[in-house]
Structure 1
Amino acid sequence: MPTSPLSSRPARLLATVALLAAAPTAALAQAGEVNVYTYREAKLVAPLFEAFTKDTGIKVNTISASSGLEQRIATEGANSPADVLLTVDIGRIKDAIDLGVAQPIKSTVVETVVPAQYRDPGGLWSAISVRARVVYASKDRVPQNEITYEDLADPKWKGRICIRSGQHIYNNALFAAYIAHHGEAKGEEWLKGLKANLAQKPSGGDREVARDIAAGKCDIGVGNTYYWALMNDREADKKAWADATKVILPTFKDGGTHMNVSAVVLAKNAPNRANGVKLIEWLLGDTAQHLYADVNYEYPIKAGIKINPTIAGYGELTADKLPIVTIAENKKKAATLVDKVGFDN
């Protein structure tokens, strides 16, 4: 396997990190290797890293976790083995930038391939794929195929909406985008209306939203584009949930569909900096972008790459033009409002 985790068990992971932290930075650099800290599930990134190794001969070592990777890089300091941080949300990116663990990528490939709204103006991060936060709806009980995010607070949906925690990073980004579009006061009013329309306390994940719609507990819910595709195409035990639902691409009034990013940071003290840049640039190439489309069910960031047929089946996407950095600037306000209105209570 070209992708070799630095550790597979918690105790061994801590020992590995401690050992690397004690080593001189120069000793961490290995010709033909790159170290990736990743929030993506191992099974989702393995095909990408295997293809990268096949194309370049550079071995990819990974540490994966569901939280805390940017904090770990900060704690490791100058002796961190991390070359690249791979994230699944703008919130993780903002945390990494705020902690000072990134350095400019400085790549003409990034500047050429990635639209300006999906990368940092100073080059500290770049998206490598995008996903949309959409509406799952009952095929039987919801005849309409169009909806706006603003409509989710309409009383006609009272007792009919399911959603995961308002403090989850995916919902936090959506709420932050709403604030960026409409302002904090209207954002609070909207959150109150959305909360009033919930069929049950926020819980579970995006898959469970589809499950509860299929069970008749609610009629619509909010989820990411790729979860529905995974349930429909690959997860046989959840296929019934997809069969009972459909995906609607909502938009902001006078705007487009809210987008979030899978993104990369080049670590500030990357011991294999050149290989880190090679990996980032490779992830923006045709091979990786096709894999993102067909393995991860995400929208390619590179123009001209075919969208996966299941994702394309949702309809024509009109992506919101709001820069990702603007969404990030409103994340704290969104989190504060979620608590203020008691959204998760």
Structure 2
Amino acid sequence: MKLALTTLMATTVLAGAVSAQELNLYSSRHYETDERLYSDFTDATGITINRIEGNADELIARMEAEGVNSPADVFLTADTSRLQRAADAGLLQPVESEVLEARIPSNLQDDENQWFGFSQRARIIFYNPEIVDTPPATYADLADPAYQGLVCIRSSTNTYNQTLLASIIEHEGEEAATDWAEGVVANFARAPQGGDTDQLRGLVSGECGIAVSNGYYFARAVRREVEGVSDSLDMISWVFPNQGGRGVHMNLSGGGVAAHAPNRDAAVAFLEYLASDQAQEYFSAGNDEFPVVEGVELAPSVAYLGAFETDDVNLSDVADNIPTAQEIFNTVGWP
């Protein structure tokens, strides 16, 4: 596998374009399993990764404060909203890479090549079949009055929800998106609280009949013990929304090269490494995510969810709608 990685990055690493022996990574990915991503890159290239980890918004603020003196080479984070926020703040720079263009689908990268998606998360509708006989088949159905008092979902400040609503704006327009958000609020089983795993726990406890969560939180509970979920998997069923229509909304984990990267060549080499089969397989096996590169094998925990149609909307266009999405959330009183 190391040979395949070296071949992929030959133009940037073996040809001598990368002279730096270190890379400064600002990352909001907080998964211990990512350690192997970093060590494998170092083993293949000899480039040491220095990590600054923290909340995405904190890292963005830090890069803004550091300005042209920022040591950041790569910004890595979850969800389109944070990637676009960094781009809009002038913290990223365009990258021209034949490797990235060939391997990353065009709808999963910024139109100006300032950020690229490297793994995907499916926003799925889960439900407790003992409470709900006929689950929602689409995202629109979550606003159906038939589900009043049944829906559990995270707060409006959650990036996954912001991007989901931004995608609805892109597909259906602001008026329809506002009606949807208002209908979902009317169907809340409880005030939004906790993370996606807490929404799944709500199904097990019976507090929720329907929950919206990224699929990898459930897949993680299949792969290893997750308190309050793993021992009750038979109480949780799921629906892939909008099949036969636009497909399941997919949000991203991705990254870009920092605007003032002191080790730019190393930064580009790292992004290209994240698009390699080796790294793509590990996103799935290590963190139960979907690869962005077609044909990469899924981890058993991810494959357990089954096959489904995905929304191929351009996420760069979706990102433009995120400020409007937050305004809609505020208007309809979604906490």
The answer for the alignment partner of 1:247 in structure 2 is 238
SS at match of 1:50: helix
In the alignment, what sits opposite 2:5?
Answer: none
Q: 1:113 aligns with which of 103, 107, 123?
A: 103
User: 3-state DSSP class of the match of 2:63?
Assistant: helix
CA distance in 1, matches of 2:68, 2:156: 36
Alpha-carbon distance in 1 for matches of 2:119, 2:272:
13
- Separation of aligned partners in 1, 2:244 and 2:324: 21
- 2-side partners of 1:42 and 1:32: how far apart? 24
Q: 1:75 Cα shift?
A: 1.4
* Residue 224 of structure 1 pairs with residue 214 of structure 2: yes
Partner of 1:163: 153
Partner residue in 2 for 1:202: 192
2:75 aligned with 1:85? yes
Change (3 A) 1:172 1:50: same
1:252 Cα shift? 7.3
Q: Is residue 72 of structure 1 aligned with residue 62 of structure 2?
A: yes
- Give the equivalent residue in structure 2 for 1:97: 87
How far did residue 139 of structure 1 move?
3.8
Cα distance, 1:204 vs. partner?
0.8
Distance 1:220 1:120 in 2: 33
Greater Cα offset, 182-191 or 243-252: 243-252
Q: Distance in 2 between matches of 1:262 and 1:217?
A: 30
The alignment partner of 1:68 has SS state of: helix
Q: Which among 41, 44, 50 is matched to residue 55 of structure 1?
A: 44
- Cα offset for 1:31? 3.0
- Unaligned ranges ≥5, structure 1: 1-28
Partner deviation per Cα, 1:71-103 (whole Å, 9 max, x = no partner): 211211111110000010111111111110111
Secondary structure of residue in 2 paired with 1:251: coil
Task: Output the CA distance in 2 between the equivalents of 1:87 and 1:231.
Answer: 22
- Contact kept? 2:28, 2:53, Cα under 8 Å: yes
Residue deviations 1:286-313 (CA, integer Å, cap 9, x gap): 1101100110111111111011222222
Contact 2:284–2:291 (8 Å) recurs in 1: yes
- Percentage identity across paired residues of the two chains: 36
The number of residues matched between the two structures is 316
- 38-47 or 180-189: bigger deviation: 38-47
What is the aligned-residue RMSD (CA, Å)? 1.7
Q: Does 1:149 align with 2:135?
A: no
**1:234: Cα distance to partner?**
1.6
Q: Is the 8 A contact 1:146 1:249 kept in 2?
A: no
The reply to whether residue 296 of structure 1 matches residue 306 of structure 2 is no
TM (norm. structure 1) is 0.87
**Larger RCO (CA under 8 A, 6+ residues apart):** 2
Whole-angstrom distance in 1 between the partners of 2:136 and 2:177: 21
Letter aligned with residue 314 of structure 1: L
Pair 1:44 & 2:44 matched: no
Q: Distance in 1 between matches of 2:316 and 2:111?
A: 9
Partner SS state of residue 290, structure 1: helix
Using a 3 Å threshold, how does the CA distance of structure 1 residues 236 and 200 change in structure 2: closer, same or farther?
A: closer
Given the alignment, which residue of 310, 327, 331 partners 1:336? 327
1:257·1:319 contact (CA, 8 Å) conserved in 2? yes
* Separation in structure 1 between the aligned mates of residue 208 and residue 53 of structure 2, nearest angstrom: 34
Question: Contact (CA 8 Å) 1:232, 1:243: kept in 2 or not?
Answer: no
Distance in 2, Cα, partners of 1:235 & 1:54: 31
Structure 2 CA distance for aligned equivalents of residues 217 and 270 of structure 1: 48
Give the aligned residue type for 1:64.
E
Q: Which 5+ residue runs of structure 2 have no aligned equivalent?
A: 1-17
- Choose which of 237, 247, 256 in structure 2 pairs with 1:265: 256
Q: What's the offset of the Cα at 1:241?
A: 4.8
Change beyond 3 A, Cα 1:42–1:255 = closer
Structure 1 position 310 matched with structure 2 position 306: no
Contact kept? 2:220, 2:226, Cα under 8 Å: no
